[in-house]
Amino acid sequence: MRIEIDSFDHYRKSCREFLAREIVPEHPKWEENGLVERSFWEKLGQAGLLGMAVSPEFGGRGKNDYRFAVILTEELIKAGVTVPGIVAHNDVVTSYLFSLANGEQKNRWLPELCSGKRVAAIAMTEPGGGSNTADIKTVAKRQGDYYRVNGSKTYITNGINADLIVVAVKTDEGKQGQGISLLAIERDMPGFTRGAPLKKIGWHGSDTAELFFDDCKVPVTNLIGRENLGNYYFMSAMPRERLSISTVAVASAEQILQSTLDYVKERAAFNQPIGSFQYNRFMLAQLDTEVNIARIYLDNAVDRFNQGLFTLVDAARIKLWTTELQMKVADRCLQLHGGLGYLRDSIAGKNWLNSRAQTIYGGTSEVLQEIISKSMGL
């Protein structure tokens, strides 16, 4: 059933009910298998939760307000449902294609991405390089109506499930740090293979894989945007991706903090609730204050994003602050859960494991500090 979007409150309530009914019962099995089933994507598509900002003519909902994406992310976190794959599909690839693809490409790809019949991924990171696109070694050489692609990518979210992958390739090897283009490589294209699923310490329901291209033949009609402008496209799209990760960070910190507050009021030691000890009370008071600051920071960032005022540096700042805070909150809260927190299937244990990736993907904290410091003239 398609979720109505007549108001934010109704949308949130509908997302919560949908996830509880359709997704949560199946999720433990998917986490155990390390892969969400195709039905996951199809159900999200049928509910109208994919491609929210895409115009209706291409199968989307035509809702550009980023608060819809925030609500979905928050409800996924509350329900304990895997998030990175949806961020990659919705907030990264689908938004790339809607803004950069030509009319023919939009008609060819977007309806199936919005319906969940196709799953999307983005492939930038390589075995020898991560955040710096200048280090890309995957090469695409044009031969008539096709590109011949050779190279590999690693740590790719949705790498196993993906039917359409936006791949960063080098199309002009003579341009140092430039000459990057984006190609849409589709399932079963000759010369495209995948490695076995990579086993991660967290986000077990989100599949991650290595991708290999050996003389992979890609039609020129799968070039996204203009040749050699890939770096410009990355910089234009990065604020949205980092805002998405920041949303996950704040929602996760809020969830584990509330769960911990409930726990420390009930769990006793030395004949009193562990939350009543001064050290624990003061630590939780500090975390509560910092998480509330992060929520205000995020709400402001979403407003600025909706107004078109959210910059690359803004995105670096908020991702740095919120993801580092998420890790801190997850660690302190796990400690307060004691032995229970160290169990993989506990709320505290899962949150701690999932938090660790947040300061790595989408730009490491170290890279973000480089961006911020350069903006300060340093």
- What are the structural domains, with CATH classification, of the chain? 8-118 (1.10.540.10), 122-227 (2.40.110.10), 231-376 (1.20.140.10)
- Contacts of 192-197 with C-beta under 8 Å, sequence gap 24+, read 192/216, 194/159, 194/160, 197/34, 197/35, 197/159, 197/160
Nearest by Cα to 336 from 270, 271, 272, 257: 257
Evaluate whether 192 touches 213 at the Cβ level (below 8 Å): yes
Q: What rounded mean pLDDT belongs to the chain?
A: 94
What is the reported pTM?
Answer: 0.94
Residue with tokens 């390739």: 169
Give the largest Cα separation in the chain, rounded: 78
Instruction: Please list, in sequence order, all residues whose beta carbon lies within 8 angstroms of the beta carbon of residue 271, skipping any fewer than 6 positions away.
Output: none
pLDDT band at residue 5, thresholds of 50, 70 and 90?
confident
257-266 average pLDDT score: 96
Q: Helices 312-337 & 230-266, crossing angle to 10 degrees?
A: 30
**pLDDT tens digits, residue range 318-354?**
999 999 999 999 999 999 999 999 998 899 999 999 9
Scanning the chain, the segments in alpha helix (DSSP H) are 8-18, 27-33, 38-46, 67-79, 84-86, 95-100, 103-115, 230-266, 278-306, 312-337, 347-355, 365-375
Position 6 scores a pLDDT of: 81
**pLDDT tens digits, residue range 30-79?**
999 999 999 999 999 999 999 999 999 999 999 999 999 999 999 999 99
Of the candidates 31, 75, 210, 241, the residue annotated as catalytic is 241
Q: For 226, which DSSP code?
A: S
Return the number of other C-beta atoms located less than 10 Å from residue 193's C-beta: 11
pLDDT at 261 over 90: yes
Nearest by Cα to 2 from 55, 61, 75, 58: 61
pLDDT at 175 over 70: no
Reduce the DSSP state of residue 254 to 3 states and report it.
Answer: helix
**pLDDT tens digits, residue range 127-150?**
876 666 667 899 999 999 999 999
**pLDDT tens digits, residue range 89-127?**
998 999 989 999 999 999 999 999 999 999 999 999 998
The C-alpha atoms of residue 5 and residue 9 are separated, in whole angstroms, by: 9
CA atoms within 13 A on the CB side of 365: 12
Residue with tokens 């199809």: 42
290 labelled catalytic: no
- Cα-based angle 359, 353, 27 (whole degrees, multiple of 5): 115
Nearest by Cα to 318 from 219, 255, 244: 244
- Cα-based angle 25, 29, 30 (whole degrees, multiple of 5): 100
Q: What percent of the chain shows pLDDT beyond 90?
A: 89
Nearest by Cα to 77 from 155, 12, 156: 12
Return the number of other C-beta atoms located less than 10 Å from residue 25's C-beta: 9
Reduce the DSSP state of residue 231 to 3 states and report it.
Answer: helix
Evaluate whether 97 touches 113 at the Cβ level (below 8 Å): yes
